[in-house]
Chain A
Amino acid sequence: MVSTQAHFLATGKIPPLLSKLGKAARVLAPVRTATTVTLFQEWQAGAELALSRQASMPPKGVVFPQTEQLLSYAYTKDANDLTRTTVALDHQLDIKPTILFGARACDVQGLAVFDQVFTHGEWQDDAVTARKDALTIVTLLCHESESTCFCTSVGGSPTATAGSDLALTPVDGGYLAEAITDKGKTLVKDEAFTPAKDKQVKEAQRVRDAIKKQDVLPLKQIEQKIIKLFSTEFWDQVSASCVSCGACTYVCPACYCFTITDEPAGMQGERIRTWDSCMFYQYTLEASGHNPRPTKADRYRNRIGHKFSYHPTNYKGAFGCSGCGRCIKSCPVSLDIRQVLREAAKHG
């Protein structure tokens, strides 16, 4: 239900609002960077906001940047004994208050997966937790589903507000804004927001009700079915066309795998954490040279297994997928994860 306490935000007021918010916080918004590519970028006046469709990349980098320095180090030679060195370590966490504007419900559900693993799980990651705490999320609810969308099959909805601080619904001339949390309530105090008229509240409700229903995937007991298929040729068949690139994992709002490397430059260097992809051969390559997942079928099985079996087993049934469909859209061979799940449901 649309809140009757809602506000209205006119489309034309958004750019100045973002610029104003940008004075006190880092503001990320979906911006057109090339003909068909929209990315969450730091807002700069004059940039072209792209609010009509899902962005090409999810905003997961806001809590989990693709490259992040864990520490820097520098060796110093002992002047009296040049064979000896001392090492100095440095680590600084630079967290700024951040406003994420225009995320979709599936993007926000993706961030919930990061919460399960990094902020509310068995271990807390300082950096991710601090970034999440400093984050205000303004979600743009969808007015339609794309042909690749399947959020409703994995516990989400195009109009879900869970995890958001402020939710926007597109209406004539702008957006109906509903504060979900105290952070959201603070935001709507800005003069860019005006109290919504009754007719706008009704229109928002109509927009939400009019969204065409997505096909529902048969995910009942999929956790066990995937395990049953573990040692079968099923994975060779479904991954036959996969080219083993990392596009699906990097565009995924819920994929959180990373690698840690030391990047030296002479006597100094840094230890960084970067996104990794289970679709790469190197992901499981061991120092001995042995690789427990040598084929793309092994790796594809891991991707599906992790999202739809191991993750729900570890995190109270929650899927490691928010149904955004970017992996389908971005795949060079249009490999359809939904079709794979349907097949797994049938054969498992």
Chain B
Amino acid sequence: MPVLADIKEAITRELEGLALVIGWGQGYDPVHAVPFFCRSSADIDRLIWNPLCVHNLVSYLPKLKGKKVGILCKGCDSRSIVQLLQEKLIKREEIVIIGIPCRGVVDMNKIQALINGKEVIDCSFTDKTITIKTSEGKQEASLDDVLAAKCLVCQYPTPIIFDHLAGAAFSAQRPAAAVDAEVKEIEGLDIPARLAHWERELDRCIRCYACRNACPLCVCRDHCAADARDPHWFSQRTGVNEKVMWQIMHALHLAGRCTDCGECERACPMNIPIQRIRRKINKEIKELFAYEAGVNPADTPPLYTFKVEEPTIKESEW
């Protein structure tokens, strides 16, 4: 695979000056990739690149501040780097970005549905298909059917920022979504139905905070407001109220910062559709301030600034 060869070549050249390079390696079975920390030249051959490389590795960067590290990133992941740079949470001179133009990664839930709990023996890809061999035979599917929803409307397949580009750059191959289907689904409900929707979905939240810890923009890490006893934003109870409060807290702390990478929802062990909460705010931010997070390192996030006259804000008429 030429892209992987490019990646390895770039790392071979850079590794000596770096503490480590974050990439993807093979996980416990052929359909699972895992984040892989490449520390020596012997590790380079363990790197992989394919549509199973779902993780946004940028989530590891803020904690590595102070070390010079390399990172592999897809187009969508690069937006998180841009946003962190904007907020001065990482230093440009401390990271070497190996960008990978990406045609989409899979949604692991769709893969799970394909294999239905069977043991996977092999998994391979062509440009358009995925073939999975399980203990019960071979399954072939169109890649489009197993790609993550974000990839089907991807507007940034090629990283926005990089030092090395593995493979050739290309522009968006798919039309952007005119309306966000997931957001629209909720907006189509009346208020009591929305309340019921979130009660039903968030009921199964186990408060594990995987959504928070996988988020590349959640930089407070061990010092999250959600864990504070004073101020006591919410109790330790596992009631729906606490779970909704947490999701609102996360979404509001990401307002104007969320780069729509979808790590929150991907990480959720209970499969709760929480990305749409962030997407709703992204949509309003775009409408109000014509702003999209993580696309220009020189931008200022819209809630960090203001205009004296706000032509898009229509205040109540009292």
Contacts and interface: CB of A to CB of B under 8 A. Distances in A.
Contacts of A243: 59, 210, 213-214, 267
A246 B33 CA distance: 21
Given A56-B270, A241-B35, A334-B32, 20 more contacts: A33-B204, A34-B272, A37-B204, A66-B238, A144-B117, A146-B119, A148-B28, A243-B267, A245-B210, A247-B208, A251-B269, A263-B237, A272-B236, A277-B208, A280-B227, A281-B221, A281-B227, A329-B269, A330-B210, A334-B28
Interface residues of A, number: 47
A73 B73 CA distance: 53
B291 interface: no
19 contacts: A37-B204, A148-B28, A212-B119, A241-B60, A246-B207, A246-B209, A247-B206, A249-B208, A250-B207, A250-B208, A251-B269, A261-B236, A263-B237, A272-B237, A280-B209, A329-B269, A330-B269, A332-B214, A332-B266
Nearest to B37: A240
B160 to A, nearest CB: 24
Contacts, number: 127
Given A148-B28, A328-B28, A334-B28, A34 B271 contact: yes
B122 to A, nearest CB: 13
A303 interface: no
B233 to A, nearest CB: 12
A67 B98 CA distance: 45
Interface in B229-274: 229, 235-239, 263, 266-267, 269-272
A241 B207 contact: no
A245 B212 contact: yes
The 4 A-B residue pairs with the shortest CB-CB distance, nearest first, are A281-B222, A332-B267, A330-B269, A245-B210
Contacts of B221: 244, 281
Contacts of A336: 27-28
Contact of A36 (B55, B112, B210, B214): B112
Interface in B184-213: 201, 204, 206-210, 212-213
A210 interface: no
B29 interface: yes
A247 to B, nearest CB: 4
A80 interface: no
A7 interface: no
Contacts of A67: 236-239
Given A53-B117, A246-B207, A147 B29 contact: yes
Contact of A274 (B208, B238, B267): B238
B129 interface: no
Contact of A146 (B117, B227, B238): B117
A343 B222 CA distance: 28
Contacts of A245: 208-210, 212-214, 267
A241 B213 contact: no
Contacts of A306: none
A281 B229 CA distance: 14
Interface in B27-65: 27-29, 32-37, 55, 59-60
B119 A147 contact: yes
B214 A274 contact: no
Interface in A308-327: none
Q: What interface size band does chain B fall in?
A: 35 or more
A221 to B, nearest CB: 24
Contacts of B207: 66, 246, 250
B3 interface: no
Contacts of B263: 332
A36 B119 contact: no
A37 B35 contact: no
Q: Which residue, of A37, A53, A332, has the highest number of chain B Cβ atoms within 10 A?
A: A332
Contacts of A244: 213, 221-222
Contacts of A274: 236-238
A247 B37 contact: no
A88 B208 CA distance: 34
A124 interface: no
Interface string A23-40: 000000000011111010
A68 B298 CA distance: 50
